[in-house]
Amino acid sequence: MNVEYAALEPKLKEILYNCLEQIRATKAALYLSNGEGPYSLVAQYGFRDNVRKIVALNDDLVDRLLTKRAPVVVNGLAAEPRFSELLYQSDTTRMLVAPIYSLGRLFGFVDMRDKAGQQPFEAADIDNAQRISEQFLELLASSRAAPDTSRQGSKQPVEEPSELRSPLVRLIEEARGSVARGSLRNRGEVRSLNEAQVNAGGAMLPALVALPNVVMASLNAFSTVGGTQIVCARATVSDEAASQFQAKVRAWLQKRGELDKVGQSTTVYPFGTNGPRIEAARLVSMLSAPVRVQNIPGIVLSVAFDAPPTPDSRSALERFLAQLEEVLRFAVSSDKLKSLMQRAAERLVEPDFQKYPVLAAHSSRVSDLAERLATLIDMSADDIETVRIAALVHDVGMRLINYDKLYRKEQLTSDDLNLFREHSLIGAAIIADSPLGGEIANIVLCHHERFDGTGYPNGVPGDQIPLGSRIIHLCETFDAMTAPDSYQTPVPAISALGKIRRSSGTQFDSVLTDKFVEMMSKP
């Protein structure tokens, strides 16, 4: 154990026991890094000889924490195959791991296992785990035991001139704090779920209506201007039954002093409309419960039964409510993170790109093309957004290589070319220290790699090049050849596509080339 950590061991264990008191985790272990090496076990309780003493930097768990920057929750050996072996080796079945971030880097993590009573880890446990992580960080910071994390890993960040850093400092610190806590907290504005978020929760309602004796269910996101409601019914609902259902929902809300205005209501029939008609007399019992998602008011789940609910039905409803809260929390956090990433990307290219409107226009066009191509090849929505943002900032490294001078030169010397080639490395270093994080930084790093391995900066070949990088390389090459404001003499689109096709399999991924040519050939 690190000598400074050893001196803190009693206090570290005291904080660690909060995992038992607040989360009821029967086992917990604290791992910390010195900033350069792997993560070492510093304190633990409940584990026997099967606790890991060292966790490597390339471990699956570390990879997940670095990628998602949020707690990892696994409720069951089969819930996530990636971690099944890890659970099995320690003779546990459930896991909640909370990251400890310092200055945007993963400083350590708390590994909690097997909640008492064989209960799953829930939303409230995640919030408590984040607070415990913050307690560890505060203790280490106050004791000056926190390492210089700027040296963590193999990448050395590029020092930015103060005049370039100043527009970013506030945003980056804000984002680091928010993401390290695993939440993007409310800043006081009146908040409500948007339609897409309500739809994400509404997609779960058919599973609830399929339970015995459940005939109707609704997810309500009320607000001062009306809000959204999705009603799911087992069969056609009579007007009287619909009115009675809504009246009971409003009565419950008014009793609690909640918002009760509905602006838009949609009813869906996942099992068709041919079953026995739902009349008012069938609404024998009704239960409503608040859905707790990041302190957003007015979210309510309501369920109508055609017979008094049994204890099993109530238990099933509680489990469903916990799953619904998790889905909605993810939807809200995902949207907030996307918004933050967009702001971060815009700040990274401004105000510097105001000096170079040509470069700013190029980045915007490449981002649009990359988003279209990523969509065409059926990437997930999250991956499409990652590619779009990466394309928007792919040339941000130009800010430090005297772009104005290089752009205007008709003939570049070998020294000029070598300097120009540094822009992907510089851009990756800037982005790695921004809210955009490591995945986008790696895409930017590799966006000039060639499929045959002769690209730069590292000569990475084939499928070893991130897919996002391969997409951006195609899109920016096409734009550079065709844009009227390009640094080279523009050519017609058909000529550019011919050149790209001839470089398929050497400069470009052949599969992506075919898709790109297909996309650009459509009217």
pLDDT tens for residues 192-207? Answer: 677 777 788 888 888 8
Which of 11-25, 290-304, 399-413 is the least confident region? 399-413
Residue 336 · residue 446 · CB < 8 Å: no
Q: What does the DSSP 8-state code read for residue 134?
A: H
pLDDT at 154: 36
Taking residues 463-484, report their average pLDDT: 92
Taking residues 213-237, report their average pLDDT: 82
Residue 205 · residue 219 · CB < 8 Å: yes
Above 90 in pLDDT, residue 318?
Answer: no
Could you give the 3-state DSSP secondary structure of residue 286?
Answer: strand
The pTM (predicted TM-score) of the whole model is 0.41
Q: In the predicted model, what is the mean pLDDT of the chain?
A: 78
Strand order in the sheet with 54-55: 54-55, 39-45, 25-32, 105-115, 94-102, 72-75
Strand order in the sheet with 264-268: 264-268, 228-233, 214-221, 299-305, 285-290
Could you give the 3-state DSSP secondary structure of residue 246?
Answer: helix
Taking only the tens place, the pLDDT of each residue in 106-138 is: 889 999 999 988 899 998 899 899 889 888 888
Place of tokens 């099993």: 312
Above 90 in pLDDT, residue 498?
Answer: yes
Residues present in the chain in total: 523
pLDDT at 380: 86
pLDDT at 30: 94
Q: Is 159 exposed, middle or buried (0-12, 13-18, 19+ CB in 10 A)?
A: exposed
Residue 503 · residue 356 · CB < 8 Å: no
Above 90 in pLDDT, residue 190?
Answer: no
According to DSSP, the residues that pair with 74 across neighbouring strands are 95
Query: At 77, phi and psi to the nearest 5?
Result: -60, -35
Question: Please, what is the Cα angle at 414 between 410 and 417, to 5 degrees?
Answer: 70
Above 80 in pLDDT, residue 441?
Answer: yes
Above 90 in pLDDT, residue 469?
Answer: yes
Q: Where are the alpha helices (DSSP H) in 350-422?
A: 357-376, 381-392, 403-408, 414-420
pLDDT at 511: 95
How far apart are alpha carbons 430 and 386 in whole angstroms? 17
How far apart are alpha carbons 515 and 522 in whole angstroms? 11
Taking residues 252-277, report their average pLDDT: 75
Pick the closest to residue 504 from 484, 475, 474 (CA basis).
474
pLDDT at 212: 86
Above 50 in pLDDT, residue 502?
Answer: yes
pLDDT at 360: 76
Above 80 in pLDDT, residue 507?
Answer: yes
